[in-house]
Amino acid sequence: MSRSNTRDKVGRSALFKGEIKNCSYPDLMMRFRINETTIYPEFLEMYLRSHRTVKYFQRSASGTSGTMVKINKRVVENLKVPLPPMPEQTAIAALLSTWDAAIEKTEKLIAAKEKQMNALYQLFFQPGMSANSSWHSTKIGQFMTPRKEREVPSEEIPLFSLTIEDGVTPKTDR
């Protein structure tokens, strides 16, 4: 468990299974052993990553620098942990683990799709790099003229506003 870090990262923890000989741990980290007859380790790991626990550690952290706050052993030991029966702990951990894996896969898929989209943007819109040699560049003023109306003239001819906050929005939304 991270005992010292930025406020948003203090208290982060991970479950390590196994042992590494001749391994040293940084002084900014705390190690705990779990009593597996009382609590299912993966259930505890999920609870330590929960919004409620993260907020508890953030509130409990102290330090003179906002970029480096600390929690101590007492803060960790005072954390209240719900303790359902062991079969419920394993079921909850399995369910949350399944959701965690699905979210991770979705995030990887989104990142891959964004990478593909950026490649397409470069292929089609980077100067001098058009997909078709018959393309030519034209100034936007050749096919678009500003409108000065302040009211929406009719539903057949929509009027749009360009804003920094929302981009292009129908005038009827304003």
pLDDT tens for each residue of 38-66: 999 999 999 999 999 999 999 999 887 76
Determine the pLDDT at residue 66.
Answer: 67
- Print the SS3 string covering 59-123: HHCEEEECCEEECCHHHHHCCCCCCCCHHHHHHHHHHHHHHHHHHHHHHHHHHHHHHHHHHHHHH
| Structure confidence at residue 35 as a pLDDT band (50, 70, 90) | very high
Establish if 34 belongs to a structural domain.
yes
Mean pLDDT, to the nearest integer, of 131-140? 74
The rounded mean pLDDT for the chain is: 85
Q: How many domains does the chain have?
A: 2
- Angle at CA 46, nearest 5°, toward 43 and 47? 85
Determine the pLDDT at residue 63.
Answer: 85
User: Over 70: is that where the pLDDT of 151 sits?
Assistant: no
101 shares its domain with 155: no
Establish if 135 belongs to a structural domain.
no
101 shares its domain with 152: no
Establish if 33 belongs to a structural domain.
yes
Q: What domain range includes position 168? A: 148-173
Establish if 38 belongs to a structural domain.
yes
Determine the pLDDT at residue 153.
Answer: 60
Burial 107-125 (b: 16+ CB within 10 A, else e): eeeeeeeeeeeeeeeeeee
| Structure confidence at residue 129 as a pLDDT band (50, 70, 90) | low
Establish if 118 belongs to a structural domain.
no
153 shares its domain with 95: no
Establish if 75 belongs to a structural domain.
yes
pLDDT tens for each residue of 89-118: 999 999 999 999 999 999 999 999 999 999
Establish if 17 belongs to a structural domain.
yes
User: Over 60: is that where the pLDDT of 131 sits?
Assistant: no
Determine the pLDDT at residue 167.
Answer: 79
